Amino acid sequence: MDKANSEQAIKLPIGFRFHPTDEELLLHYLKRKIYSLPLPPTLIPDFEVFHSNPWDLPGDLKEKRYFFCKRKKMNFMNKCSSSLSSSDCGYWKDSGKDKQVMAPGSNLVIGIKKSFIFYQGKRSPALKTQWVMHEFCLVASFTTPYLPQKLMMQVGDWVVCRVYQSKRKATSHGKVNQLPDSKKPRIMNNLRMGDKNELGFSSAQTCSSSSCCSGITEISSNELDEEASSQNIY
């Protein structure tokens, strides 16, 4: 999809915001997408989210953005597909446990919500950014005579993704703190290769290329290796 067309397509009238709940995303948007039912054409575009840098995605970076994306279908499972493709500037890493989304007013599971954090760079050392993605897949529950518990199967090969910048910063101990603007480290721009910035790092460490500059606060993932050692990197 052309980026300029995408930016124009998802604009809303002044004063309007698109803030669907998890249940609404699954029942009124993703379900209709999977079954080829009519959808509002300007709200959730199709986009290859997993092959794009989050700051390059169409739409307002200050708002939560939503995209439909095709994913490899996973059957007979209890969570959504977890194989992700890296972008040219980094990769998505799963964060926390998958969450079940219930139908309103019932205990029926209608979907799975998976959370990811974007890391800038290729593996270690990489910088943990404030970009967050929630991936939703529609599921159907069923039972078999061979297993006592219910199994869940992903319905269709589409998912819907919510991408946004977190306003909080993770510490090396896994806690989350709000940083005042005066204490937020600055990303230095227009540095030549080999120059040293005010933090003592070269420009190559701060930003590998102009297209890979997210323009947001980042921290080293080395301090978080113990916290994330049980999680997979995709």
What per-residue confidence (pLDDT) applies to 206? 42
What per-residue confidence (pLDDT) applies to 84? 53
Architecture in CATH of 3-168+184-224:
Beta Complex (2.170)
Q: How much is the pTM?
A: 0.67
Q: Tell me the average confidence (pLDDT) per consecutive run of 10 residues in the chain, 234 residues long.
A: 46 81 96 93 88 91 94 55 66 90 91 93 84 94 67 89 83 41 44 42 43 54 42 43
CA-angle at 85, arms to 154 and 42, nearest 5°: 65
The residue written with tokens 């509002």 in the block is 40
What per-residue confidence (pLDDT) applies to 159? 96
Contacts of 62 (CB under 8 A, 6+ apart): 165
Q: Using an 8 Å Cβ cutoff, are 115 and 94 in contact?
A: yes
The full set of domain ranges for the chain reads 3-168+184-224
145 vs 127: CA distance, rounded Å: 47
Q: Using an 8 Å Cβ cutoff, are 153 and 111 in contact?
A: no
The residue written with tokens 């998802």 in the block is 10
